Structure 1
Amino acid sequence: MTERTIPVDAIGPIALDLTMNAGSIRVTVDPALTQPRVVLKTEATSGPSADAIRDTTVHLTGQDLRVRVPDAAGGMCGSTTIRMGGSTMTFSGGNGVQIVGGNVYVSGSGGGKVFVNGREVTATGPAGDAVTPITAEVHLPAKSVALISTHSADTTVRGTLARLEYDGTSGALVADRVGDLDVTATSGSVIVNEVTGPLDANLTSGNLGIGAYSGHDARLNVTSGNVRMAATEQATGRLTVNATSGCARITGASHLNVRRRVTSGHVQIS
């Protein structure tokens, strides 16, 4: 395993700006924590993923922390991911896989190699290195904010973020509680249990679920996507919904100042 702990010489809440295109991102907000910590890890001890961890750039200016995890050479950018149950299959780089009569045939620009846990499997035994998933574990003090940009990384947020800006493509975001939420998602999934501040969501062919919204200004732009949101009695102000070939179902919002525009989509607000 390759593991790198990034020391953050700052005390108290920070503004995290993290870009990591693939793998998994785990953010934990701990009220008892005073100093942030970032840990990057992968199963491989060498190869493109280990190199990407070593080449990660970190810049700290005051309370602003900028982390850039480079794409691993031969990685999964520009890929297509299929999720079934708790499993995923990712296709990248052209050509493909065939299963015929119980035999597996792999074709591709890399020679049709097969890798298991980052090691190449050959007729004579394991050899070589491959891209293995990188995991970023981020520990933040209370009242921290985060900007997360990714292509296909799955992101989880445990605890309460004061603000979250999320830009994802074909990835999944699951968060406990967020103050201000600004989301741009394409072909991905976003589930947030609770939003207490302003909400701005731009969704294209993805899914957005908000368990409890109690903010004062919500704007939802949906294109070929699906939105499910439950407003609470504490929610106030305006709710704006623009849907094009999308579907939005919002409950508990009858007391809000609702504005909607629907083009070949379906919006239900109650």
Structure 2
Amino acid sequence: MTERMIPVDVFGPIALDLTMNAGSIRVVVDPELKQAHMVLKTDATSGPSADAIRDTAVSLRGQNLAVRVPDVAGGMSGNTTIRMGNSTMTFSGGNGVQIINGNVHVTGHGGSKVFVNGREVTATGPTGDAVTPITAIVHLPARSVAAISTHAATTVVTGALARLEYDGTSGTLTAERVGDLEATVTSGSVIVGEVSGPLDINLTSGNVTVGAYSGHLARVNLTSGNVRMAATSQATGRLAVNATSGCARITGASHLDVRRRVTSGSVQIS
């Protein structure tokens, strides 16, 4: 295993700016915690994933922590993702995949290696070249904020973040409680239990679900995909929905100042 501790030599809430294109991100907000701490780890002791952890750029300026995890070989940058139900297929680089009589044929410019859950299973592939998933675990004090940018990582936030900016090309985000939420989703899935502040969603494809919205300003821009949201009686102010296509269903919002613009698709506000 390769493990790297990221030092955070300040006390109190911080602003985390994390870029990590694949793997797993876990953010834990602990109201009893006085000082943030972070760790990056992977199962491999050598190879591209271990190198990526060692080469991760870290910058701490005041209460602002920026972490950039570089892509690894076999990563997911510059990809095309096709969604069918709850499944996704992602294609990156050259040539393609054929399935003939149950056999999988891979051709391309990357040596035609096969990876399952981040581990190389190619018969002739050297063990040391395996791309193992990278996991980032971040513990934050209360009132911290986070900006997370990823292509395909699985992101889980437990506890209450004061603000979350999420930019995901593909992958999933699950968060318990957020003050302000700004989410730009190209594909994938976003599920947030509670949002108590301003809400700004830009969805090109995929699914966004907000269990309980009680803020004072909400904007939903929907090009495709699905948005499900329930407003509470504490919600106030304007709710603006702009749908080019896709489906939005928002309940509990009849007392809000609703503005809607629908080109295609379905928008239901009650």
Using the size of structure 2 for normalisation, the TM-score is: 0.92
Answer 1 or 2: which has greater strand percent: 1
Match of 1:218 in 2: 218
Query: Partners of 1:144 and 1:39 in 2: how far apart?
Result: 17
Matched ranges for 1:64-143 at <5 A: 64-80=64-80, 90-115=90-115, 118-119=119-120, 121-122=122-123, 127-143=127-143
Match of 1:208 in 2: 208
- Corresponding residue SS for 2:27: strand
User: Are the structure 2 counterparts of residues 233 and 131 from structure 1 closer, same or farther at C-alpha, using a change threshold of 3 Å?
Assistant: same
Query: Partners of 1:213 and 1:175 in 2: how far apart?
Result: 13
Match of 2:162 in 1: 162
Question: How far is 1:21 from its partner?
Answer: 1.2
User: Are the structure 2 counterparts of residues 235 and 127 from structure 1 closer, same or farther at C-alpha, using a change threshold of 3 Å?
Assistant: closer
Matched ranges for 1:144-163 at <5 A: 144-163=144-163
Question: How far is 1:94 from its partner?
Answer: 2.3
Query: Partners of 2:90 and 2:207 in 1: how far apart?
Result: 19
The amino acid of 1:220's aligned partner reads V
User: Are the structure 2 counterparts of residues 84 and 25 from structure 1 closer, same or farther at C-alpha, using a change threshold of 3 Å?
Assistant: farther
Q: How many residues align?
A: 269
- Corresponding residue SS for 2:240: strand
Match of 2:229 in 1: 229
Query: Partners of 2:166 and 2:120 in 1: how far apart?
Result: 33
Q: Which runs of 5+ in 1 are unaligned?
A: none
Match of 2:26 in 1: 26
Are residues 1:245 and 2:253 paired? Answer: no
Question: How far is 1:111 from its partner?
Answer: 2.7
User: Are the structure 2 counterparts of residues 97 and 211 from structure 1 closer, same or farther at C-alpha, using a change threshold of 3 Å?
Assistant: same
The amino acid of 1:22's aligned partner reads A
Deviates more, 1:163-172 or 1:70-79: 70-79
Query: Partners of 1:10 and 1:119 in 2: how far apart?
Result: 40
Deviates more, 1:194-203 or 1:40-49: 40-49
Match of 1:16 in 2: 16
User: Are the structure 2 counterparts of residues 155 and 190 from structure 1 closer, same or farther at C-alpha, using a change threshold of 3 Å?
Assistant: same
Judge conservation of contact 1:48–1:74 (CA < 8 Å) in 2.
no
Match of 1:261 in 2: 261
The amino acid of 1:199's aligned partner reads L
Query: Partners of 1:86 and 1:163 in 2: how far apart?
Result: 28
Judge conservation of contact 1:44–1:118 (CA < 8 Å) in 2.
no
Deviates more, 1:125-134 or 1:245-254: 125-134
Question: How far is 1:127 from its partner?
Answer: 3.8
- Corresponding residue SS for 2:190: strand
Any idea what the Cα deviations from partners look like across 1:14-45, whole Å, max 9, x if unmatched?
00011111111111111121111111111221
RMSD in angstroms over aligned alpha carbons? 2.1
Judge conservation of contact 1:158–1:176 (CA < 8 Å) in 2.
yes
- Corresponding residue SS for 1:122: coil
- Corresponding residue SS for 2:72: coil
User: Are the structure 2 counterparts of residues 114 and 167 from structure 1 closer, same or farther at C-alpha, using a change threshold of 3 Å?
Assistant: closer
The amino acid of 1:164's aligned partner reads L
Judge conservation of contact 2:216–2:237 (CA < 8 Å) in 1.
yes
